[in-house]
Amino acid sequence: MKTVRCYYCGSGNSSFYAAENGFQLVKCDGCGLLFVKDRPDDDQISQAHRQGRHAGEKELDVTGRYSPGRVRTYRKVLQDLYGGDMGHIRTWLDVGCGHGEFMLAVQRYASGNIEVTGTEPNVHKQASARARGLNVGYFDLETHGVHYDAISLLNVYSHLPDPPRFLENLIKLLNPGGELIVQTGDTADFSASEHYRPFSLPDHLSFASQAIVVGILERLGFQVIHIRKYPYVRLELGSMLKETVKALLPHFSSRLRYYLNWKKYSEADMFIRARLRN
């Protein structure tokens, strides 16, 4: 275990926010970032991600499964972010590509004109993405040495022990004028009772806000081009019925309360498109 300071403003002062799975989430007194201050050391974190499982009071299984609905959702997001104008992008790297839904969305949205590569530490997800014909492996980004026109990180940010340092290293893999797509929650300003659960600690190590992620990108020399926000839960009848059934059954955690407070969570999911200034 080790203790860290806020990675955004550097403050060592924080207040208790919530506890889960034997870990504590604190709120930075300086900038409002939510983060796990006392955490497993980096070796334990990377081992855990490779296996898709984490040691805590209760073991979390974070492998999940492939979702065709997610491919459709991501194509709509790409339309919102690019408006059909992706001609300047030839190569794309998706970091933490999971089962490959976003890679498939990029391939299809660009009509096969973009060569998409994925890296994924979880061996089960790697196999699932490869079974769909995707070019997925797991490589060390620091020694990778290949350059891309665009790099995406979806559902990755909250897992990173030090997002500013990670994003700074990614710049070395971008071509001049290259782009980043960062997706994460805009939830640091929610009160602890409002914040969606579970936090999935210590799989997730921080929860940021739009101001924090934009601030990090600008410090690193990126120009933010588009920010698009989406609901934490989507208004689809099938999912709503499923969550209603789960709410009635013991031993299931249901997202029903997010549907009941839909407006509050309607902008909790954030995609940022940023371009490296030359």
Where do contacts with Zn ion occur on this chain (CB under 5 A)? Answer: 6, 8-9, 11, 28, 30-31, 33
Distance CA 233, CA 39 (A): 29
Name the residue nearer to Zn ion (CB basis): 26 or 106. 26
CA angle (259, 260, 265) in 5-degree steps: 60
Distance CA 254, CA 248 (A): 9
Q: Smallest gap, in angstroms, from Cβ of residue 6 to Zn ion?
A: 3
CA 182 to chain centre: 7
Q: Smallest gap, in angstroms, from Cβ of residue 260 to Zn ion?
A: 32
Under DSSP, the state recorded for 8 is T
Q: Smallest gap, in angstroms, from Cβ of residue 215 to Zn ion?
A: 10
- For 186-248, where are the E strands, in sequence order? 206-207, 222-230
The answer to whether 276 and 222 have CB atoms below 8 angstroms apart is yes
The answer to whether 22 and 56 have CB atoms below 8 angstroms apart is yes
Q: Smallest gap, in angstroms, from Cβ of residue 220 to Zn ion?
A: 17
Residue 194: CA atoms inside 13 Å, Cβ hemisphere, count? 14
Name the residue nearer to Zn ion (CB basis): 122 or 209. 209
Name the residue nearer to Zn ion (CB basis): 33 or 114. 33
Distance CA 25, CA 17 (A): 5
Q: Smallest gap, in angstroms, from Cβ of residue 259 to Zn ion?
A: 32
Name the residue nearer to Zn ion (CB basis): 35 or 258. 35
Q: Smallest gap, in angstroms, from Cβ of residue 27 to Zn ion?
A: 9
The answer to whether 210 and 267 have CB atoms below 8 angstroms apart is no
Name the residue nearer to Zn ion (CB basis): 11 or 169. 11
Name the residue nearer to Zn ion (CB basis): 27 or 275. 27
Q: Return the closest-CA partner of residue 36 out of 162, 187, 175.
A: 162
